[in-house]
């Protein structure tokens, strides 16, 4: 039985590794999966663990108030050392580009344990955008032995960096697996009634499909703190004032660098609804009922095309250009006037909207975790 050690610390990692964990556990005793969480993001991580019924074997619980990248890196490596020494896994799996993943990859290297990287090969080739994720994933590719690339584009990036071709597999992105599972669970009538009721009672939101052409906003990236975030907030305010019949819903990240400027600029705008961060189940329901999405996030660029929701990406570069190439998303940058113009164009031009909504989703078919487990069996 091959021992697979999976380590993660944030909500996106947990969402994307949950289908892999499930696949490993149903493989008739071929794998022993050991789950270790750092809890780099405590509350948001726990929500996903509960949703997918994952009970960690190790919880390093490193999160502290006002933590920084130094703390996350050093604390993860310090606490992981003893765990890896005791467990002696056959392979370590990490996901994506977080500081937890980078620190764990360095730990794997120090113990000479083979490392598999799920969602390998994403690149902007801009060292500080996104920060620190771009350099995290680049360094991960240097240390990894097995590269599970979500798309052919990601595979090409790895090949250009001289990663051996026989160590790269195009699997699709496991987030689509997780999304399909959650969407399937939401088909039940009692589940849908509960979700409608939740948003009505907690936030005063009456949701239906494309209700009032609702715009969903997510904006939390570290490199957008400060002036960029204020620009984005002014853009949202102008859109709301120009389109009073449109509701804008913004789950606001708990980070004070986000909370303060967002509440100051948008708190009094009647058709902008600032709500608390949502767990994944509620967030997926909200995405499915939105008309379009404004985001600086990575994951939602992958999820939204599966649900037919056009995405305007409020960044200057993206490591997920496949959606832009197929037309499912559009890079609008961080200029206030450009964000306002592109959003209003999508609201007004039905033909452009339909073209984006019906674009092909290039990120997966819901079988990515199955492919990864198959590969691990063959290695």
Q: Are the C-beta atoms of residues 94 and 8 closer than 8 Å to each other?
A: yes
**Options 253, 257, 279, 374, the catalytic residue:** 253
Which of 264, 256, 291, 259 shows the shortest CA–CA distance to 275? 259
Does 221 participate in catalysis according to the annotation? Answer: no
Does 181 participate in catalysis according to the annotation? Answer: no
Q: What does the block give as tokens for 67?
A: 């933590």
**Options 22, 117, 220, 291, the catalytic residue:** 220
- CA–CA gap between residue 151 and residue 365 (Å, rounded): 12
**Options 97, 177, 319, 322, the catalytic residue:** 97
Q: In what order do the strands lie in the sheet with 168-170?
A: 58-59, 31-37, 2-8, 91-95, 115-118, 146-149, 168-170
- CA–CA gap between residue 266 and residue 191 (Å, rounded): 32
Q: How many helices (H) and strands (E) does the chain have?
A: 16, 13
Q: Are the C-beta atoms of residues 131 and 223 closer than 8 Å to each other?
A: yes
For CA atoms 140, 295, 324, 371, the dihedral sign is: positive
Does 220 participate in catalysis according to the annotation? Answer: yes
**Options 87, 119, 223, 342, the catalytic residue:** 119
Which of 127, 174, 180 shows the shortest CA–CA distance to 150? 174
Q: What does the block give as tokens for 312?
A: 């305007």
Q: Are the C-beta atoms of residues 146 and 108 closer than 8 Å to each other?
A: no
- CA–CA gap between residue 249 and residue 236 (Å, rounded): 10
Does 133 participate in catalysis according to the annotation? Answer: yes
Q: Are the C-beta atoms of residues 16 and 96 closer than 8 Å to each other?
A: yes
**Options 222, 230, 257, 367, the catalytic residue:** 222
Does 119 participate in catalysis according to the annotation? Answer: yes
Strand 215-218 vs strand 248-251: parallel, antiparallel, or unpaired? parallel
Catalytic machinery residues: 97, 119, 133, 220, 222, 253
């Amino acid at each position: 039985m091959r021992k697979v050690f999976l380590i993660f610390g944030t909500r996106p990692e947990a969402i994307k590794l949950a289908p892999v964990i499930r696949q490993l556990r149903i493989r008739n005793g071929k794998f022993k999966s050991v789950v270790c969480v750092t809890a780099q993001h405590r509350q948001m991580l726990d929500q996903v663990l509960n949703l997918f019924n994952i009970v960690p074997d190790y919880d390093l619980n490193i999160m502290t108030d006002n933590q920084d990248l130094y703390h996350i890196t050093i604390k993860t490596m310090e606490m992981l050392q003893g765990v890896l020494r005791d467990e002696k896994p056959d392979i370590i799996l990490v996901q994506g580009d977080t500081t937890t993943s980078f620190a764990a990859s360095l730990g794997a290297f120090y113990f000479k344990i083979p490392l598999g990287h799920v969602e390998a090969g994403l690149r902007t080739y801009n060292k500080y955008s996104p920060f620190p994720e771009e350099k995290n994933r680049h360094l991960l590719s240097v240390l990894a032995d097995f590269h599970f690339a979500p798309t052919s584009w990601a595979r090409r990036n790895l090949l250009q960096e001289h990663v051996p071709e026989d160590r790269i597999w195009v699997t699709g992105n496991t987030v689509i697996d997780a999304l399909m599972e959650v969407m399937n669970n939401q088909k039940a009538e009692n589940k849908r009634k509960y979700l409608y009721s939740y948003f009505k009672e907690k936030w005063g939101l009456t949701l239906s499909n494309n209700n009032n052409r609702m715009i969903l906003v997510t904006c939390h990236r570290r490199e957008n703190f400060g002036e960029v975030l204020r620009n984005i907030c002014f853009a949202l305010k102008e859109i709301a004032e120009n389109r009073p019949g449109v509701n804008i819903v913004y789950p606001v990240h708990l980070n004070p660098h986000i909370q303060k400027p967002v509440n100051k600029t948008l708190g009094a705008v009647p058709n902008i609804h600032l709500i608390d961060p949502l767990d994944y189940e509620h967030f997926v329901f909200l995405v499915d009922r939105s008309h379009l999405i404004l985001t600086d996030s990575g994951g939602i660029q992958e999820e939204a095309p599966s649900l037919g929701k056009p995405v305007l990406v409020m960044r200057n570069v993206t490591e997920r250009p496949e959606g832009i190439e197929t037309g499912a998303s559009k890079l609008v940058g961080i200029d206030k006037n450009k964000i306002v113009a592109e959003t209003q164009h999508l609201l007004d031009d039905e033909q452009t909207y339909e073209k984006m909504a019906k674009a092909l989703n290039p990120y997966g078919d819901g079988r990515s975790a199955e492919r990864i487990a198959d590969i691990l069996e063959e290695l």
